[in-house]
Structure 1
Amino acid sequence: MNMNTSQSSVSKKHLIAIAVVLALGGAAGAFIFQGGKSQAAAAESDGHGHDSQAKEHDEHGAETGHGDEKGHEDHKGQAGAEHGGAEDKKDGLIELSDAQIQAAAITVDTASAGHIQTALLLPGEIRLNEDRTSHVVPRLAGVVESVGVSLGQVVKKGQVLAVLASPAAAEQRSELQTAQKRLALARTTYQREKTLWEQKVSAQQDYQQAGQALSEAEVAVANAQQKLGALGLSPLSASGLNRIALRAPLDGIVIEKHLSLGEAVKEDSAVFTIADLSQVWAEINVPAKDLPFVRVGEKVTIKATAFDASATGTIAFVGALIGEQTRTAKARVVLANPQGAWRPGLFVNVAVVAEETAAPVTVSTDAVQTVAEQPVVFVKVDGGFMAQPVKLGRSDGRRTEVLQGLKAGTPYAATGSFVVKSELGKGSAEHAH
């Protein structure tokens, strides 16, 4: 009985505790539910507010034409395209007036058909014209008594370069004088014997012997004179029999001098070298494969490698032999040198025309410029120039073939096209800023 009373008492306590817990849980759940409902209502209310504002904005946009996002973007793109086209046109046109073009020395030419020359560029060297170069030798040994010129001096033909004292010269002149005196005596004897024979006073044999002696004396004089002439000696010398005057054999410049006062020189010593530099040779080294294009009489262009100078000439000689070491043949151009600019020893490049072909559209090579790593030609339009991209073909340095991008008859900036390019660069820089 007591046990049952105790169990009943415990059960009542448990029930009361459970009821309290359930009551508290219900109150908390109601509170949470109410708070979530309030937040949802607030969120829904806020959403409806935004929707109404967006709707009002859309309606207002529809009325004004700016509310439709797609329409707004299309309108913006169209305006941007129109604006971009104007910018492109402005960027493409290099505005230059006729007065500015003239002041900048820009010449306008017309694209036209032309001939492109394919040229071989061969190495060469300026050399002395050996036909106009002379080495002065004494021909007789002697001692230098005076020197009248210096190295690099311009001399005239027959001008005295130096004077030598030579015993051999004295002997040659003495021989001539002796022969001349014998000739004079032989003439006198011959005239006397002739007169006596005509008067029949002397025998004919004496007369014939006198004639023979006269002939021998004449031969001796002629022989002595020829010896002096071969040695470059005059028959008589005002300064003495042993004096040798070395004279310039031609007009030119003393380019070598190998004697000094009091020096003993041999008969075969080249004491002076005189060269006429008004004409020089351009000697060309021609590889064997290029020999068919190098012909006598062919016009060539010669350009110096050390400085800006060029000249034209004609091939006067092509060698028949090929060098064993160089495997090249020698060709020669006779080059006029009135100003003395082509100095012997100067390296040159010689351009020989190999072939000439026609091209339908050509422009001046100076007209081609590079913009954005692409070749362009500045075409003349109203108000200035436009950069026209082109595809180039062959070029000979003067004319350049245009394969694409330009038609014959199109005006373009020839000389001074770099000025137009600089103006294009200025315009691009201003547009970038």
Structure 2
Amino acid sequence: MMKFKSIGVVIALTQIGFGISMYSPATYAENNVEAVQEEVEKGPNNGRMLRDGDFAIELAIFETGVPPEFRVFATKGGNAINPKDVELNVKLTRLGDGIDDINFFVENNYLRGNMEIYEPHSFLVTLTAKYQGKTYQWSYDNYEGRTQIVDSLAQSMGIETEVVANQEMEERLKVYGALTLPASATRNISARFPGEVKALYTELGKQVKKGQVLMTIEANESLQRYDVVAPIGGVVTAQNVAVGEQSSDRSLLTITNTSELVAELNVYPMDQSKIKLGTDVYIHLPGYEGVVKASLSDSLYQLTAEQAKVYRAVIDNSDNQFSQGQFVIGQILVDTYTVDMAVKAEGLQSFRDFTVVYGKFGDQYEVRMLELGRKSGDWVEVLGGIALGTEYVTTNSYLIKADIEKSGASHDH
């Protein structure tokens, strides 16, 4: 696996080795580039010194109170040259993003670049200067946040990618509440005619079906026996009778239909105007890995003591996996919208002081500093920092970060 070394930003922000090629007019005409390894030399303005004989250029970056930009100071024989006498151009060849063509204008005692040097500061730098009829040219690479991994190795590492594209997003309101039973879920079972309970066919905690015989009673007056059947299916949640007892005028059994529960969700005044009945709600229950999707069916008239309005959503509980009184977290869908660009949140990593993804360009990967907007589920809106259609790493992006950090392909500002 090949890795690109960081050469330090154009302004000599690091002091590691780099490849630099210098062209005199003759060698420039012959297009013969000679690579020379040397230490980065800093100038009096903390910029990078580029020398050809007694002619020198200090290429500095300035970012105090302004976006990063180039400023150039020219000397000959150690003496400052009037910036009006120097014609200068810098080209920054970026990975996957074309070439930044920077021209310069005179300001005070230096030449000032006419465009921002946007992040990442990772490019091949080509500087061309013309002075007194001679042309000078320097070229060096200045890479950061970049590495190279062949596709077969990337595949074995489980690295997956997506393409930056527009995405439908959702705005959800997070609310809290609890599960309760529908009002019609419970039936209290009593005897039609008072008498002695001769047989009991169920007990507390047992499931019963609608129409199932629950008990047999012998009427006190007629001494005739009759059956009591279940008016609904459900669970016996209360038992107040045993065989041989008199039924009297009381509830003998309670049956509760637990196949449906109601999520009662508290929405506070500042959010109540956003809510409409029929809206989808996604309910998360502690201990349950999935998400239950439902819709808001109604709301209670009376507010809670905290002035919250209670919205209700019926959820399926046919498997009896949820319980009355269980606390829930709901996410109510309040808006849907489409953004021009979005990336998957799993691909986000930190790089210096930035949140980034790693763009993929063939078998090379390079950091892209992002300006982020709204988040929705697995997606995050991108406001800037990467081009639409760029392929970027999603799954296992941390492996790219680790590879870059291992190779030292970054610099400090």
Q: TM-score range by the shorter chain?
A: 0.5 to 0.7
What SS does the aligned partner of 1:293 have? coil
Cα distance in 1 between the residues matched to 2:366 and 2:350: 13
Which one of 106, 110, 133 corresponds to residue 163 of structure 2?
110
Q: Which residue of 2 aligns with 1:425?
A: 402
For residues 97 and 140 of structure 1, what CA distance do their matches in structure 2 show?
A: 85
Name the counterpart of 1:280.
261
Query: CA contact under 8 A between 1:148 and 1:162: conserved in structure 2?
Result: yes
1:255 and 1:104 mapped to 2: Cα distance? 55
- TM-score norm. by structure 2 comes to 0.59
Percent pairwise identity: 22
Corresponding letter in the other structure for 2:282: T
1:421 Cα offset (Å): 0.6
Higher relative contact order (CA 8 A, sep 6+): 1
Match of 2:89 in 1: none
Residue in structure 1 matched with residue 197 of structure 2 by the alignment: 144
1:406 aligns with 2:386: yes
CA–CA distance in structure 2, aligned partners of residues 155 and 412 of structure 1 = 56
The CA deviation string for residues 107-151 of structure 1, in whole angstroms up to 9 with x for no partner, is: 322112233322211112122233344332334444433322233
Name the amino acid aligned to 1:111.
V
Equivalent position to 2:333, from 353, 359, 365: 353
Secondary structure in 1 aligned to 2:242? coil
Distance 1:265 1:386, change over 3 A: farther
Q: CA RMSD for the aligned pairs? A: 3.3
8 Å contact from structure 1 (residues 137, 272) kept in 2: no
Alignment of 1:20-35 (within 5 A): none
* Of 368, 371, 383, the match for 1:388: 368
Task: For residue 422 of structure 1, give the secondary structure of its aligned residue in structure 2.
Answer: helix
**Aligned partner letter, 2:301:** A
Is 2:119 aligned against 1:119? no
1:319 aligns with 2:372: no
Q: What is the CA deviation profile of residues 291-318 of structure 1, one whole-angstrom value per residue up to 9, with x for unaligned ones?
A: 2222221111111134432121111112
What does 1:7-18 correspond to in 2, within 5 Å? none
**What does 1:61-210 align with in structure 2 at a 5 Å threshold?**
76-77=38-39, 89=143, 92-167=145-220, 171=221, 174=222
Q: Cα–Cα, structure 1 residues 251 and 384, in superposed 2: closer, same or farther, change >3 Å?
A: farther
Contact 2:186 2:254 in 1 (8 A): no
State the secondary structure of the residue aligned to 1:421: helix
1:139–1:268 Cα contact (<8 Å) kept: no
User: Relative to structure 1, is the Cα distance of residues 105 and 259 closer, same or farther in structure 2, using a 3 angstrom cutoff?
Assistant: farther
Q: Which residue of 1 aligns with 2:310?
A: 330
Q: Which structure has the bigger radius of gyration?
A: 1
1:81-123: CA deviations, max 9, x gaps?
99x999974x733444434444455432211223332221111
Q: Decide whether the 8 Å contact of 1:288 with 1:322 is kept in 2.
A: no
Q: In 2 relative to 1, CA 261–347 (structure 1 residues): closer, same or farther, beyond 3 Å?
A: same
Q: Residue 268 of structure 1: which of 231, 237, 250 is its match?
A: 250
| Amino acid paired to 1:257 | Q
Task: Tell me, yes or no, if the aligned pair for 2:373 and 2:383 is still in contact at 8 Å.
Answer: yes
Greater helix fraction, Structure 1 or Structure 2: 1
SS of corresponding position for 2:169: strand
Residue of structure 2 equivalent to 1:247? 229
